[in-house]
Amino acid sequence: MTEPLLKVRGLKIGATIYPQGERPREIEIVHGVDFDLAPGKVLGLIGESGAGKSTIGLASMAYGRGGVEITGGEVWVNGRDILKSGLKDVRSLRGAEVTYVSQSAAASFNPAKQIMEQVTEAAIFQGKFSRSKAEERAVALFRKLGLPDPENIGARYPHQVSGGQLQRCMTALALCPEPDLVVFDEPTTALDVTTQIDVLKAIKDAIKDTGVAALYITHDLAVVAQVSDHIMVLQQGATVEYGTTDQIINHPREPYTKALVSVRSIQHEEKQPTDTPILRVEGVTARYKGTSFDVLKDINVEMYAGQTLAVVGESGSGKSTLARVITGLLPPSAGKINFDGRTLTPDLATRPLNDLRELQMIYQMADTAMNPRQTVGTIIGRPLEFYFGLKGAEKQKRIQELLDEIELGKGFQDRYPAELSGGQKQRVCIARALAAKPKLIICDEVTSALDPLVADGILKLLLNLQKIEDVAYLFITHDLATVRAIADSIAVMYQGSVVRYGSKSKVLSPPFDDYTDLLLSSVPEMKLGWLEDVIANRKMASAGN
Amino acid sequence: MRIPLGALLGLFFTALFFAMAIFASWIAPYGMAEVVGDVWEPPSDKFMLGTDSIGRDLLSRMIYGGQTTIFIATAATVLSFTLGSVLGFFAAVSGGWVDQSLSRFVDLIMSIPSLIFALVVLSVMPTTVPILILLMGLLDSTRVYRLARAVAVDITVMDYVEAARLRGEKIVWIIFRETLPNALSPLVAEMGLRFIFAVLFVSTLSFLGLGVQPPQADWGGIVKENKEGINYGIQAALYPAYAIATLCISINLVADWVLNRTTSLKGGRG
């Protein structure tokens, strides 16, 4: 076997934490990780947030981000241990032999400089190419990555290209100095599913054509299965399983890996429409104040008591705006909303308290949806007090009942949101919505900020609660796997209109319209070779290209 | 609960100043306006800080002066914070024309330098302590309003405020239960600073002869009365400066500590 390009042995990474009122102390966040990467190969690092995958990725450039320190082990790049090298050697390595692609290209590009200048900067600085040579190479990379107008796109500023294009520019930036290794840190996580697939394909082809080795960091096993040769599964800073992509996906050995592979396996029997519609949206058109553009165009959907309507679409399709119209935050310019047999007033301020109570909302970011200065008891207790006038022991009892319902149990009432994990926070938000005894809960991307296993738990909980409380969900999401798991009927939104609407089985079975086909086919599947099949067979190119 | 050394020091001096102010008439060795010695006597056993330009005991003047200055500054700060933050939050939560008209009115007031504004008002109004407090409180509340509004605007776009609105909460709940607890940290930090500005402002007014009127003592007045002494190497005019500097540092040490406690999102328990 040839000498590996990157050899990591016993890598230990520590950080200093500063607990309030205590002495700062050292904790270890990566506990001795080993792996090899041969030239031209791709290794996928996968794990939940906090697993240490980004930290390990950056350590292969001998870098520790904000307060993180590499405390032990060896990192060999091209035959030398870079942890023992001086700063000067490390500097000559970064941006020349090893480069980095970050998650949010929009936040990583300097908005005041043209793309070309930034793409070629490292190559010129490291003396790899002359300016004209580097620019020539950049244009070639732009072309290879499928960017439109490759000769001139470099003259644009970062805000003048779309998110998917910018992510590809960043890939060009990383490949420009002809590195031996590129670290991709969640390069497609911030993108829409239909954009992700093209960027993924571009990255994969670029890796293959340039023969560069790559570390591909992501939390999405289905994505990493498409690009990598080997996969390393991490949990809390330690290796769980390390093997070829085929072995990890098709024959996982460890229970944790099995759980990751079989995530979203919830089976949900579709319910038939009843004759009691809980919500009917009739011809709703809406625009934001001071604009002349309709964000929603003549929306007609209907949903039934105790059932789930999933509204699916990309960012910008108007699905969250629909929620704002229904809740009364944005009065529609035309059309009306019928709720439980009565017409809702368009503006929140004029709605009777009972309408407000029966229509609750759960947000995407549980962090910002709870007041950080209130305890869990206050957060859940307020609707009880506000709508039902519960006080004292009675209120306490009901709060505890709700906490039991969301499977949190005792000891949570006095905690502050900062003392909860991401999944627990979202559960508390669910309890707050349930406390009002609503008939309809609008769930706005409630699982998209969560790790897959945690999100799975939340979906199961929601389904369970639906059985107990007979509450209807209007479920807004961009994730079709979630839709399959919980919906009874589906509305597909595209550029402010509903392009497909009906029961789940009807919407998800052919013949498809072009957009639904694109959307459905873009959801990564945990199967080798899926990416190539999809690109070859689809009918419509995705937006953002 | 462990109190850091800096905060302890700050607490000690702040408490000392406030205690001296409150118990002035028991602590001061002589009366406030009593002429007890020669002009500008040097410090001695009898007069710890010496005497002033007409032979009053300087230490007693400093203690009584501290009482007046600290009282006026505290009252003005409390007034400016109550008024400024409530109006600021109200503007931010209401938005629209309420916000616009309040903010533009405040801009108008702020566009006039506050010292000039105060001088104009004081030249037509009688110079009494209540008028001084009211004037300083109102002028300073424009600054507090700006800060409170800016902080609250960021808070009112958070999902938990939207959730409260969707629940049907009234504006009072949104201001006092959702916004205020989250805006407290910057306001506390500002309060430490604003108090000191109030001390300086009232001292400036007195120095110009438009603040506290003789024979009542205050720190600015003491500087005014004794400023000629500096030519002869008499320190009398500098003591108020020392006092203001000490008070400033200790108040801010305390404010920093309170700030550390209030920024904790875990209820200060680790």
Is residue A360 scored above 90 in pLDDT? yes
Is residue A287 scored above 80 in pLDDT? yes
* One-letter amino acid for residue A173 of the chain: L
Residue B258 pLDDT grade (very low, low, confident, very high; cuts 50, 70, 90): confident
Cβ contact, residue pair A383, B160, below 8 Å = no
Residues B133-152, buried b or exposed e (16+ Cβ, 10 A)? Answer: bbbbbbbbbbbbbbbbbebb
Mean pLDDT estimate for chain A: 85
Q: Hey, is the C-beta of B4 within 8 angstroms of any chain A C-beta? A: no
Q: Hey, is the C-beta of A311 within 8 angstroms of any chain B C-beta? A: no
| Tokens standing for residue A88 | 């000067």
Is residue A544 scored above 50 in pLDDT? no
Residue B73 pLDDT grade (very low, low, confident, very high; cuts 50, 70, 90): very high
Compute the average pLDDT of residues A109-115: 89
Radius of gyration of chain A (CA): 25
Taking only the tens place, the pLDDT of each residue in A467-502 is 888 899 999 988 887 888 888 999 999 888 898 898
Closest A-chain CA to B268: A20
Give the percent of chain A with pLDDT over 90.
Answer: 19
Q: Enumerate residues 339 to 358 of chain A having a beta carbon within 8 A of any beta carbon in chain B.
A: 348, 351, 353, 356-357
Say if residue B227 is exposed, middle or buried (CB neighbours under 10 Å; 0-12, 13-18, 19+): middle
- Spatial distance between the Cα atoms of A125 and A337, rounded to a whole number of angstroms: 60
Closest B-chain CA to A384: B167
Q: Enumerate residues 178 to 197 of chain B having a beta carbon within 8 A of any beta carbon in chain A.
A: 178, 181-182
Cβ contact, residue pair B169, A418, below 8 Å = no
* One-letter amino acid for residue A26 of the chain: E
Cβ contact, residue pair A363, B1, below 8 Å = no
Residues of B in contact with A356 (CB under 8 A): 166-168
Is residue A522 scored above 50 in pLDDT? yes
Considering the four listed CATH numbers 3.40.50.10070, 1.25.40.10, 3.40.50.300, 1.10.3720.10, the one that applies to the domain covering B5-263 is 1.10.3720.10
| Tokens standing for residue A305 | 């008591």
Cβ contact, residue pair A418, B270, below 8 Å = no
- State the pLDDT at residue A457: 87
Residue A74 neighbours by CB under 8 Å, 6+ apart: A7, A8, A9, A10, A11, A81, A83, A84
Cβ contact, residue pair B266, A363, below 8 Å = no
Q: How far apart are the first and last CA of chain A?
A: 41
Q: Hey, is the C-beta of A505 within 8 angstroms of any chain B C-beta? A: no
Cβ contact, residue pair A348, B166, below 8 Å = yes
Is residue A342 scored above 60 in pLDDT? yes
Is residue B269 scored above 60 in pLDDT? no
Contact predicate A54/A185, CB 8 Å? yes
Nearest to B160 among A19, A329, A368 (CB): A368
H or E element in which residue A181 lies? strand A181-185
Residue A304 neighbours by CB under 8 Å, 6+ apart: A271, A273, A274, A276, A277, A278, A472, A488
CATH architecture of the domain with range A39-57+89-261:
3-Layer(aba) Sandwich (3.40)
Residues of B in contact with A22 (CB under 8 A): 270
Q: Is A94 helix (H, G, I), strand (E, B) or coil?
A: strand
Q: Is B113 helix (H, G, I), strand (E, B) or coil?
A: coil
Q: What is the predicted ipTM? A: 0.76
Q: Enumerate residues 73 to 102 of chain B having a beta carbon within 8 A of any beta carbon in chain A.
A: none
Q: Hey, is the C-beta of A20 within 8 angstroms of any chain B C-beta? A: yes
Residue B149 pLDDT grade (very low, low, confident, very high; cuts 50, 70, 90): very high
Judge if A39-57+89-261 and A277-509 fold alike in CATH terms.
Answer: yes
Taking only the tens place, the pLDDT of each residue in A176-200 is 988 999 999 888 877 777 778 888 8
Cβ contact, residue pair A21, B266, below 8 Å = no
| Tokens standing for residue A96 | 């020349």
Q: From residue A133, how far is each of A113, A129, A136, A415 by CA, in Å?
A: 20, 6, 5, 59
Compute the average pLDDT of residues A281-299: 86
Residues B87, B93, B94, B97: is their CA dihedral positive or negative? positive
Residues of A in contact with B163 (CB under 8 A): 361, 363, 369, 432
Cβ contact, residue pair A382, B167, below 8 Å = yes
- State the pLDDT at residue B34: 79
Taking only the tens place, the pLDDT of each residue in A76-106 is 888 888 888 888 888 888 888 899 988 877 7
Residues of B in contact with A381 (CB under 8 A): none
CA distance A421 to chain B (A): 13
Q: Which residue is associated with the tokens 């949903």?
A: A303
**From the centroid of its chain, how far is CA B258?**
17
User: Shortest CA distance to B182 belongs to which of A370, A421, A20?
Assistant: A370
- Spatial distance between the Cα atoms of A317 and A478, rounded to a whole number of angstroms: 10
- State the pLDDT at residue B270: 42
- State the pLDDT at residue A22: 66
Q: Hey, is the C-beta of B154 within 8 angstroms of any chain A C-beta? A: no
Taking only the tens place, the pLDDT of each residue in B209-228 is 888 887 788 888 888 888 88
Mean pLDDT estimate for chain B: 87
Q: Hey, is the C-beta of B45 within 8 angstroms of any chain A C-beta? A: no
- Spatial distance between the Cα atoms of A431 and A404, rounded to a whole number of angstroms: 10
Find the helix packing angle between A131-144 and A115-125, rounded to 10°: 120
Closest A-chain CA to B162: A369
| Tokens standing for residue A477 | 């999401």
Q: Phi first, then psi: what are they for B48, rounded to 5°?
A: -60, -35
Domain A277-509 has CATH 3.40.50.300: yes
Closest B-chain CA to A416: B266
User: Shortest CA distance to A221 belongs to which of A237, A235, A211?
Assistant: A235
Cβ contact, residue pair B181, A371, below 8 Å = yes
* One-letter amino acid for residue A512 of the chain: F
Number of A:B CB contacts under 8 A? 64
To the nearest 10°, the Cα dihedral for B100, B105, B110, B111? 100
User: Shortest CA distance to A406 belongs to which of A385, A383, A380?
Assistant: A380
Q: Is A232 helix (H, G, I), strand (E, B) or coil?
A: strand
Domain ranges of chain B: 5-263
Domain ranges of chain A: 39-57+89-261, 277-509
- Spatial distance between the Cα atoms of A372 and B160, rounded to a whole number of angstroms: 9
Is residue B136 scored above 50 in pLDDT? yes
What DSSP designation does A269 have?
P
CA distance B179 to chain A (A): 9
Residue A51 pLDDT grade (very low, low, confident, very high; cuts 50, 70, 90): confident
